[in-house]
Amino acid sequence: MRPLPTGKPAMPIHLLPDHLINQIAAGEVVERPASVLKEVLENAMDAGSTAVEVQLEQGGVRRIRVADDGCGIPKDELPLALERHATSKITSLDDLERVGTMGFRGEALAAIAAVSRMSITSRADGAPHAWRIDADPRELAPAALNHGSVVDVADLYFNTPARRKFLKSEGTEFAHCDDVFRRIALARPDVGLQLSHNGRVSQRLPSGTREARVRALLGDDFLAAARSVEAESGLLRLHGFASLPAYSRSNRDAQFFYVNGRFVRDKLVTHAIREAYADILHGSRHPAYVLFLELDPFGVDVNVHPAKIEVRFRDSRAVHQFVYHALQRTLAASGAGAGLAAGSGESTESPAPAPAPQASPYPHTPQPYQSRLAMEPASRAYYDFAAAARPEPIAGGPAPAREDGFVATAFAPRAASPLTPPVAAPALPASDLAPPLGYALAQLHGVYILAQNEGGLILVDMHAAHERILYERLKTLLDGTPGVQRLLIPAVFGVGQKDMLTAEEHSELLERMGFEVGPAGPQELAVRSVPALLASAPVSELVRALLAELRDFPSTEVITARRNELLATMACHGAVRANRSLTLPEMNALLREMEATERADQCNHGRPTWTALSMADLDRLFLRGR
């Protein structure tokens, strides 16, 4: 006998008994009650069930019982079902490569049976009665059951106390089971499902449409704030629902992604989705989505992990690009202009299933009293402004810098500054079709702009909207050489030691962005130039915020990759602040810029920037016409 390194004599090589092999395998497949539930539920789905009932006791540790109305298992196959590597789902490698069922490894039931007290009662289609098999001792007996199968798993880990110790509280284990249940339920709206825990029903989901299932599990709020996604390209299809940033979460709980019906957590896909949201969602917020990717089974390997939660795509780049673009386009299509175009039929995206909060301000049936006449005074004021503005800038030169950070030039006619992109002054419309966001009426408490369009009232959060516009424009400007505004008098302000060091370390990068920053004293910085777009932002505040952010980045590569975060900071500090009063022409200019900006209806932090109250909405408020 060879000695082990510990000095103990080694045993001769021998085959492990089946039961022990199964117990070892159970370590991979059966991590906790939720993993048992996943396997057993998936078997019920694979069996073609239309109604499935799940009963749990004590978080699933005491009992997991799943009853289905699927095809059942014939008597003589029942003992096989409990054997390792016994499956009815594949017979060859070819099958494995195009597998369409959830299961195929034929090891789940054997593993579960090895670490619990398990029985299966089943009645195969056409059998005169049901049969029941107990896993240990393995015994078959006639039983009563109308159809389908009942898999009963009791006392999980009763014979492997070491594993039992790893189980968490009943509440935690139940929460994991609930997660599994929801994941499968979202994927299979065609199957009626019920879940109960300790005798109390916690979910009752009738079979129905995908939308109804999503509504039942994620709520009306989610659907109201979600876009429906539908995209196809070659052999790839992505469909489902993705939240607009206004519905973002502080965690990833509401993220469901499926590949050919299988819930997965895949790094590649998660990355593609995060990128699609990068521009409209603050980094610390998480989008909510239920998305289904369908592709040829040949294109994806699901046999990477026993629990099959990871997959491997054959052409991962194509998948990444497809998911990113499909989602990004859907989300961008919610921009103020695009949203309005949806009614004209030129949008290729499917409409949101429920009216989003920022629904189209163009109602399909304008109310008779909302005549063109009513639009007249507001539009007249705007045309007057536009006409007057054309020959020369309203401010008669570069806008003076303002304490409050309002960039008047950003709204003023383009000729005002050689640094702003040459957007023509708004043309007078030939017809009397009003612009989508209408004409400004007034400013409310220094925070909101009230405007009137054909449909009714438009409310705009002016800071959020301006921030959004600035951000988009900063992005395009920084792609080339930034327009730089030299300050007549350098802005000098006191900073801490750390800021001094950061400014020195990143001076080159700052310069590339248009900031000329240098020391003015041991604890003082002088800013001599800023990006033209931010010409009138509060300089010290802006630069301090940038330095703080730069300090958080570990390296220059990271800064390049996360450049957009810097732009967002700049936009936030450059945007007009609350309590700054705007003139009507300034407000109208902002509305026009919003219409011209992609994704203008959400600010960089994911809040909506505007909303509409149609005449019908207002009538409802006043109970008119009832």
Ligand X SMILES: Nc1ncnc2c1ncn2[C@@H]1O[C@H](COP(=O)(O)OP(=O)(O)O)[C@@H](O)[C@H]1O
Residues that bind ligand X (CB under 6 A): 39, 43-44, 47, 68, 70-73, 81, 86-89, 103-110, 149
Q: Using the rule CB under 5 A, give the single segment among 105-113, 137-145, 312-320, 571-579 that binds Mg ion.
A: 105-113
Query: How many residues in total does the chain contain?
Result: 626
Whole-number Å distance between alpha carbons of 331 and 475: 18
Q: Which residues contact 429 (CB under 8 A, 6 or more apart)?
A: 435
Residue pair 221/247 in contact by the 8 Å Cβ criterion: yes
The one among 43, 243, 255, 604 contacting Mg ion by CB under 5 A: 43
Distance, CA of 485 to chain centre: 38
Q: Are 422 and 473 in contact (CB under 8 A)?
A: no
Q: Which is nearer to ligand X, 131 or 439 (CB)?
A: 131
Backbone φ and ψ for 31, nearest 5 degrees, come out as -80, -35
Three-state DSSP class for residue 54: strand
Does position 483 bind Mg ion by CB under 5 A? no
Considering only residues 229 to 248 of the shown chain, the ones binding Mg ion according to CB under 5 A are: none
Rounded Cα distance between 432 and 97, Å, is: 61
Min CB(155)–ligand X separation in Å: 19
Contact call for residue 35 and Mg ion (CB under 5 A)? no
Cβ closest to ligand X, residue 109 vs residue 226: 109
**DSSP element (H, E) containing 493:** strand 484-494
- The stretch among 40-48, 174-182, 494-502, 571-579 that binds Mg ion (CB under 5 A) is 40-48
Are β-strands 255-259 and 262-263 bridged in parallel, bridged antiparallel, or unpaired? antiparallel
CB of 117 to ligand X, least distance (A): 17
Question: Which of the choices ligand X, Mg ion, none does residue 173 contact, using the CB cut-off of 5 to 8 A by kind?
Answer: none
- CB-nearest residue to Mg ion: 103
Nearer to ligand X, 107 or 601 (CB): 107
Q: Count residues binding Mg ion (CB under 5 A).
A: 3
User: Which CB atom, from 90 or from 238, has the smaller least distance to ligand X?
Assistant: 90
By C-beta, is 71 or 224 nearer to ligand X?
Answer: 71
Nearer to ligand X, 130 or 570 (CB): 130
Work out what residue 87 binds among ligand X, Mg ion, none; the CB cut-off runs from 5 to 8 Å by kind.
ligand X
Nearest to 137 by CA among 113, 167, 153, 157: 113
Q: Which residues contact 288 (CB under 8 A, 6 or more apart)?
A: 218, 222, 226, 242, 243, 247, 248, 249, 254, 255
CB of 191 to ligand X, least distance (A): 12
The nearer residue to Mg ion, 81 or 259, going by C-beta atoms, is: 81
Q: Which entry of ligand X, Mg ion, none binds 231, CB below 5 to 8 A by partner kind?
A: none
Question: Of the two residues 42 and 586, which places its CB atom closer to Mg ion in the complex?
Answer: 42
Q: Which region among 99-107, 304-312, 387-395, 582-590 touches Mg ion (by CB under 5 A)?
A: 99-107
Query: Which partner from the list ligand X, Mg ion, none does 68 bind, CB cut-off 5 to 8 Å by kind?
Result: ligand X
Residue 406 sits at φ, ψ, to 5 deg, of -80, 125
What is the Cα–Cα distance from 174 to 257, expressed in whole angstroms?
22
In the complex, minimum distance from the CB of residue 82 to ligand X, in angstroms, rounded to a whole number: 8
CB of 16 to ligand X, least distance (A): 19
Helix/strand number for the chain, H first, E second? 21, 22
Quick one: tokens of 246?
């206004």
Return the biggest CA–CA distance within the chain.
103
In whole angstroms, the minimum distance from the beta carbon of 150 to ligand X comes to: 8
- CA-based Rg of the chain, rounded to a whole angstrom? 31
Q: Which residue has the tokens 């009815």?
A: 88
Q: d(Cα 450, Cα 464) in Å, to the nearest integer?
A: 14
Decide: 45 and 184 in contact? Cβ < 8 Å.
yes
Residue 217 Cβ vs ligand X, minimum distance, rounded to whole Å:
23
Separation between Cα atoms, residue 85 and residue 100, nearest integer Å: 18
Residue 331, both tokens: 């989300």
The CB-of-295 to ligand X minimum distance in angstroms stands at 21
Closer of 183 and 215 to Mg ion (Cβ): 183
The Cα–Cα gap between 464 and 336 comes to: 14
Nearer to Mg ion (CB atom), residue 43 or residue 588 = 43
Residue among 29, 67, 73, 108 that touches Mg ion (CB under 5 A): 108
Which of 36-44, 307-315, 458-466, 565-573 is the region at the interface with Mg ion (rule: CB under 5 A)?
36-44
Residue 147 or 390 with smaller CB distance to ligand X: 147
Report in angstroms how near the CB of residue 122 gets to ligand X at its nearest.
Answer: 6
118's tokens: 């398990």
Report the residue closest to ligand X, judged by CB: 103
Query: What's the first-to-final CA gap in the chain, in angstroms?
Result: 95
- The nearest distance, CB 60 to ligand X, in angstroms, is 17
With contacts defined by CB under 5 A, name the span among 35-43, 135-143, 282-290, 569-577 that binds Mg ion: 35-43
Centre a 10 Å sphere on the Cβ of residue 343 and count the other Cβ atoms it contains. 13
Nearer to ligand X, 303 or 350 (CB): 303
- State the minimum distance, in angstroms, from the CB of residue 185 to ligand X: 17
- Residue 237's binding partner among Mg ion, ligand X, none (Cβ under 5 to 8 angstroms by kind) is none
Residue 23 · residue 114 · CB < 8 Å: yes
- Residue 366's binding partner, choosing from Mg ion, ligand X, none, with beta-carbon cut-off 5 to 8 A by kind? none
Q: Count the Cβ atoms, other than its own, within 10 Å of residue 621.
A: 9
Give me the least distance between CB of 86 and ligand X, in Å please. 6
Cα 98 to chain centroid distance, Å, stands at: 29
Both tokens of 357, joined, read: 């909060």
Decide if residue 180 touches Mg ion (CB under 5 A): no
Nearer CB in complex with ligand X: 88/507: 88
Ramachandran angles phi, psi of 517, nearest 5°? -125, 130
| SS3 assignment, position 344 | helix
Return the closest-CA partner of residue 533 out of 554, 515, 559.
515
Query: Binding residue for Mg ion (CB under 5 A) from 72, 103, 335, 483?
Result: 103
Tell me the closest approach of the beta carbon of residue 258 to Mg ion, in angstroms: 17
Q: Is 417 in the site for Mg ion (CB under 5 A)?
A: no
Residues lying near Mg ion in the complex (CB under 5 A): 43, 103, 108
